[in-house]
Structure 1
């Protein structure tokens, strides 16, 4: 999953809501004073300002548009109230930000409060990261070290007729360049050579006030030397939407996060902790779901929530795809039923003007699945949450139109060997619709608070993915939040096997853990023992384990992989690819069209071939991570068994570092290019080899040997196995073809570059590198030099002898530099 979202460091989304601790900066006495104090000061008469052709709208604040001016009436009782300010893009130039910033993209979200200061009103950004009991001595220090910055300031112009609100001119908040809410980050400003904001072509387009939010749209125009897309005016214009939402006074009870169950979180630090440090912990981000009938809920009956989660479809969504989008949204009701709720999430068509004249996808009262007409091939599921409690307030799922192309291609490549209907560029509507449905379900999962669970794909036995009964009941992985899109393990003879991912048991488990209402718990601390018990009930079952796949060396958390045996799964995947390649010309050819579709699908097939190798490589020097708390038996980290690592290296020698005649299909290559096949295969093999010889991987293997001795798969053993595989022609006295010569040169270059890189770091930092990597790489090149010297004349092939002599020279040169 993954959109360009940028934030300012001033905005942090954290909260403490216990009775024992106040979130920093919210003094109840001051708030009450602001509600009751009488306005003072010499201001203009209200009627002198609000007159003539005025567009007024009553709501959270009454707004007035007069010509190019925008006024707010800020009620006295809304001063120092928590408001969430969400900035979104409504319209923008083609290909802005490389295509990953689109209509509906969120620019920023931050909590703000309006404060009165003499004759001014200040808008401050509020942080909930650091908290302390207001009555404790340390509160003064927390207050002094967390001073709230002023985002915007304006003068009080007048007081409204019934003396309940200050009238302020907020025009410049939307027409000047306020960095916290604009959509032109520094990197794009530099890339597009932006000179300035042109105020003559920037203006407020509309302002609407609703009971709990204000929506302002404003157009920003920048002078740019190198604007994106096909712009001919030398400018970049964007229409932005600013939502100011009143956060609920009745705050949702937060739920403590636990990294054994995957959730998006917000972090906080409590300085009133009795521990000898600040108490840092995280709260999960989730929607507020409360059963209508708590007694029935307690009895175990399925109960509707007081306020269900509602998603509207974008009016721009093509009619034929709407049923699949709705299914993808409402698929989550199965998981919510596990948590005791029925009809917890509802999908609706966009209302007509007659049904709801105020409906707008930019209005935060509506969560929308947006359909974006761009060439971007992606989908995302962001959300907006209350930083005090983690309550999700609204979200917009974004589907980019050309993501259809991604799934069309993938289906042909990974399912073409098994299913006849996948062997076309015109994927049948029911099948592409099912894929779209599952993409939407995946993105809704993010919007419900669930991150990627890349570990889920390793939970099922690989051969179970060839079983029709198993896959139809349990899907391809226990979680739809993994990146397991198409069942490439299934073989042509496996009839009835499910080929497209679906929701699984982990999804039901995680939703139950995060959303089940616990009536007896009066605080987040009360909930913790219950939540811990739910985790321990599933402990040891890989179906219910979580692993993000980011920042760890656990091969079980591979992206795009399937099954618990990566070698076997990749062998199945490669067997299918070898059946697909000879048919690609036929499957992609269209009368009167060129071979661009063939070239695209063929390139993507090569990347999938690399992916199958990547899944296997991850096992070498890999470390299993099983998240546990101190009260659970066993360790958290374990090195991958030596037998699995040896099997992985043997797979690579057989399938990655060989001559790929099946991939270098003459019938394809002669239709899509005049040259480049050798270089393309080399680049994929180099990628695999670089990954295998990665410095961090080698260091993990060295550490494994020091910890586990003879039980470890050592670096020396791995390098010897790799060398004998890559240079097998040398040891067998055989001729070396062009593809293998490329690969062998690459091995020498990579080993030499590791030495050169670390030597350079040593000299630059004036320190001795004590890592084993330099001596290992030197020893490997020395051994190879000796082997080439003694065996290079065993072949009569002249080109091979030239090649061996060249390698000797390269090795000598690497030692002399």
Structure 2
């Protein structure tokens, strides 16, 4: 009975299930039919594919550091696993540029970005990461892990892995978007230019990859970009900015060049790192000089003192667009550095070459990071620069481009006429002889090559020679006008009419030989940078007391020894000669310009530049007041680093300024010039020039240095004495009962404006740079003597003017004094 009952239940269950399944099949029949009829799904487009499906038969391949494949409009990098994680230097440059972009200081060849990158695999992606060597530590030390996790590297771009090559030794990625979209870090348009030109976006329909070329150690990419911009620098109606960028990526040496530790007593551009693995009780900042890697082909001969060629010389190519008549001077300027390199033991260390023709080398490109080029830029900008690209791990210079702007020749012609015309008859013309223009250009190129070799400006080099030596023909022919080509000493403005056989143009000097030897001499027995220090220090000590080997930083604004555009060891005497010559030039300027050309354009241009030359001569004397000599030393040397200019020199400087700046300079207001170049603005030209240096004298940092000097020695020129001397000189008419001319009235009002500023302003609030190495410095102006001194000077002045306004003076002078008194009242007693 139980068996029959169990069988009935099972049959019932089977029937019910079958019936349900049939109903379900009927219900789903239509859907099932549709699924069967659907085509197979496509593969995930991001999935890793077969190599042959990515690098197809249509691919055009270029072999080098990476295999570069072009498949129609797609660009692929085939990156060997062996180069993943290796350091590469990425440099972005403008290859072609629209007129006016960046205000004239951007050009074809301008570098817009430089950083170390490396390629890294993460799961099914390849990451392009930016790498910094600012913070480092020995990888064998535990702290290196902390350096790593506290300096996480930014990802510039992430790529999906498209395929692996046939033997799985390389990975393929698509880089098309990296180079065809607006990746701001490499775009060439920084944020401030985007804002200035009101850039909206990159237009993809007018932007494309021009070329991608792979070489054994580098890859070069050219991109054409067009941006929509409301206010472009040129072609305004187009509302577009188009430029061509070049992206260079070069594999850095596996083993960095041995670095050379910098010494502030010898001028070099530098790279710095914070070494957290140092035994010092801090993150130890280590600074290395920037230099090319030069090693002798024959080390034994080099060790014997013979001149030896380097394994790899420094080669500069001339831009194919360089005017023919200038090419020889550019080559001479480059190879002028061969002699200093011979002092360091190398011959033919630096060579100038013509760029190869397309037939000789179709791959040659000035933007290719393998080549250093003197770029000749068709631009109205008046300048020349010598930037370089270096390995941040060691300071090794990899490549550099010298940039010469076409109109810079005009600057040198004008300065030649203005600064040497009194003593140099051949400069008294707008048609300067070609040989003389060529010599000037040669020296400018040599100066810029110096930058590209690692040398900054040495502003102390022109202070090495006695002022009277510049009037000695034999001395100037031998020594030029500065101890280094790296000074901003352009012309001999000291030589006077009648002086004979004078060299007026700068040239290489003894400091250049010394600095090249210090930075480039090969020291094979030194296995670490620290091993070199004792030898390098010895070389400095040997030259320490000779001014021709002194280095003076451009960045300090307080040292009379290190002044831009100055020559000679006495600014007062040098500027006296300079102003005397300039008066001669001013009197003859129409005869040398407009009388020859029958128009006033050159006269106007040169008169404007004449004011600039005069301004520089004045500035050199101003620096004496509150000046501090900086002679960089190590503790093992005798003497101190900072010494205030003595009192008598400062007083003499103040007297010179009163006579040659603040007294009305009628020779600068020559009617024969002014009434032929403009209808107005005559007195304002003079006032703005005078007030510039008046404001410089009456500045927080200068007065602060004078107050500081009192804490060192009570016999130094005090802030009170300086302020009193300024007041007495500027308001001398009030003491003598004389009328005040329009130039002096304007200057006196400028004085009151500046005193008001000092009385009410809080002064600078932040320090920039390192203590002792910058200006202005910071102190609390409210707790210092400044406001007390200013109040005292204004009170004294008001008292003098109250008496003077009642004297026998003309009406305008009376009104002027009444106005000044009212302004002082409002300032000292605002209620």
- Aligning the two structures, in what range does the TM-score lie when normalised by the shorter sequence? over 0.9
Q: Is the contact made by 1:71 and 1:167 (CA closer than 8 Å) also made in structure 2? A: yes
Give matches, 1:23-422, under 5 Å.
Answer: 43-51=48-56, 53-422=58-427
Q: Is the contact made by 2:762 and 2:781 (CA closer than 8 Å) also made in structure 1? A: no
Query: Following TM superposition, by how much is the alpha carbon of 1:85 offset from its aligned partner in structure 2, in angstroms?
Result: 0.6
Farther off after superposition, 235-244 or 421-430 = 421-430
Encode CA deviations 1:247-298: one digit per residue, 9 max, x unaligned: 1124211111111111011001111211211221101110011111111111
**Matching of residue 682 in structure 1 with residue 682 in structure 2:** no
**Matching of residue 668 in structure 1 with residue 681 in structure 2:** no
Farther off after superposition, 494-503 or 793-802 = 793-802
Q: Is the contact made by 1:788 and 1:804 (CA closer than 8 Å) also made in structure 2? A: yes
- Aligned partners of 1:636, 1:188: CA distance in 2, in Å? 42
Encode CA deviations 1:560-593: one digit per residue, 9 max, x unaligned: 1111100000000000100001111121227675
TM-score, normalised with respect to structure 2: 0.91
Query: Following TM superposition, by how much is the alpha carbon of 1:799 offset from its aligned partner in structure 2, in angstroms?
Result: 2.5
SS, match of residue 454 in structure 1: coil
Query: Following TM superposition, by how much is the alpha carbon of 1:133 offset from its aligned partner in structure 2, in angstroms?
Result: 2.3
Match of 2:474 among 469, 472, 478: 469
4+ long deviations beyond 4 Å: 590-593
Farther off after superposition, 43-52 or 619-628 = 43-52
Kindly name which structure, 1 or 2, has the bigger radius of gyration based on alpha carbons: 2
Query: Alpha carbons of 1:801 and 1:768: their partners in 2 closer, same or farther (altered >3 Å)?
Result: closer
Unmatched tracts of structure 1, length 5 or more: 1-40, 762-766
Query: Alpha carbons of 1:759 and 1:364: their partners in 2 closer, same or farther (altered >3 Å)?
Result: closer
SS, match of residue 589 in structure 2: helix
SS, match of residue 237 in structure 2: coil
SS, match of residue 373 in structure 2: strand
Match of 2:783 among 770, 781, 785: 770
Query: Following TM superposition, by how much is the alpha carbon of 1:795 offset from its aligned partner in structure 2, in angstroms?
Result: 3.1
Query: Following TM superposition, by how much is the alpha carbon of 1:458 offset from its aligned partner in structure 2, in angstroms?
Result: 1.4
Encode CA deviations 1:308-367: one digit per residue, 9 max, x unaligned: 100000000001000000000000011101101111000011112222221110111110
Q: Whose relative contact order is higher, 1 or 2, with alpha carbons under 8 Å and at least 6 apart?
A: 1
Match of 1:742 in 2: 746
Match of 1:789 among 802, 805, 813: 802
- Aligned partners of 2:688, 2:426: CA distance in 1, in Å? 32
Match of 2:706 in 1: 701
Match of 2:733 in 1: 729
Query: Following TM superposition, by how much is the alpha carbon of 1:42 offset from its aligned partner in structure 2, in angstroms?
Result: 6.4
Query: Alpha carbons of 1:142 and 1:198: their partners in 2 closer, same or farther (altered >3 Å)?
Result: same
Encode CA deviations 1:733-767: one digit per residue, 9 max, x unaligned: 22211111111121122112211223999xxxxx9
Query: Following TM superposition, by how much is the alpha carbon of 1:54 offset from its aligned partner in structure 2, in angstroms?
Result: 3.3
- Aligned partners of 1:137, 1:780: CA distance in 2, in Å? 63
Farther off after superposition, 729-738 or 96-105 = 729-738
Query: Following TM superposition, by how much is the alpha carbon of 1:423 offset from its aligned partner in structure 2, in angstroms?
Result: 1.3
Query: Alpha carbons of 1:426 and 1:123: their partners in 2 closer, same or farther (altered >3 Å)?
Result: same
SS, match of residue 421 in structure 1: helix
- Aligned partners of 1:592, 1:577: CA distance in 2, in Å? 22
- Aligned partners of 2:819, 2:520: CA distance in 1, in Å? 65
Q: Is the contact made by 2:700 and 2:763 (CA closer than 8 Å) also made in structure 1? A: no
- Aligned partners of 2:763, 2:703: CA distance in 1, in Å? 17
Match of 1:523 in 2: 528
- Aligned partners of 1:705, 1:295: CA distance in 2, in Å? 58
Match of 2:827 in 1: 814
Query: Following TM superposition, by how much is the alpha carbon of 1:163 offset from its aligned partner in structure 2, in angstroms?
Result: 3.1
Query: Following TM superposition, by how much is the alpha carbon of 1:379 offset from its aligned partner in structure 2, in angstroms?
Result: 0.5
Query: Following TM superposition, by how much is the alpha carbon of 1:43 offset from its aligned partner in structure 2, in angstroms?
Result: 2.4
SS, match of residue 788 in structure 1: helix
Q: Is the contact made by 2:723 and 2:793 (CA closer than 8 Å) also made in structure 1? A: yes
Query: Following TM superposition, by how much is the alpha carbon of 1:810 offset from its aligned partner in structure 2, in angstroms?
Result: 2.0
Farther off after superposition, 285-294 or 751-760 = 751-760
SS, match of residue 384 in structure 1: strand
- Aligned partners of 1:377, 1:212: CA distance in 2, in Å? 36
Q: Is the contact made by 1:68 and 1:203 (CA closer than 8 Å) also made in structure 2? A: no
- Aligned partners of 2:95, 2:570: CA distance in 1, in Å? 46
- Aligned partners of 2:788, 2:612: CA distance in 1, in Å? 33
- Aligned partners of 1:89, 1:67: CA distance in 2, in Å? 26
Encode CA deviations 1:53-84: one digit per residue, 9 max, x unaligned: 43321111111122321111101111111111
- Aligned partners of 1:663, 1:307: CA distance in 2, in Å? 55
**Matching of residue 571 in structure 1 with residue 576 in structure 2:** yes
- Aligned partners of 1:464, 1:760: CA distance in 2, in Å? 41
Unmatched tracts of structure 2, length 5 or more: 1-45, 766-779
- Aligned partners of 1:232, 1:67: CA distance in 2, in Å? 34
Query: Alpha carbons of 1:161 and 1:594: their partners in 2 closer, same or farther (altered >3 Å)?
Result: farther
Match of 1:715 in 2: 719
Aligned residues: 771
Farther off after superposition, 174-183 or 441-450 = 174-183
Q: Is the contact made by 1:456 and 1:543 (CA closer than 8 Å) also made in structure 2? A: yes
- Aligned partners of 2:822, 2:763: CA distance in 1, in Å? 20
Query: Alpha carbons of 1:612 and 1:592: their partners in 2 closer, same or farther (altered >3 Å)?
Result: closer
Encode CA deviations 1:500-550: one digit per residue, 9 max, x unaligned: 111111111111000001122111111110000000001122211112121
Encode CA deviations 1:391-448: one digit per residue, 9 max, x unaligned: 1111000000010111111111101111122111121111111111111101000000
TM-score, normalised with respect to structure 1: 0.92
SS, match of residue 471 in structure 1: helix
- Aligned partners of 1:112, 1:771: CA distance in 2, in Å? 50
SS, match of residue 155 in structure 1: strand
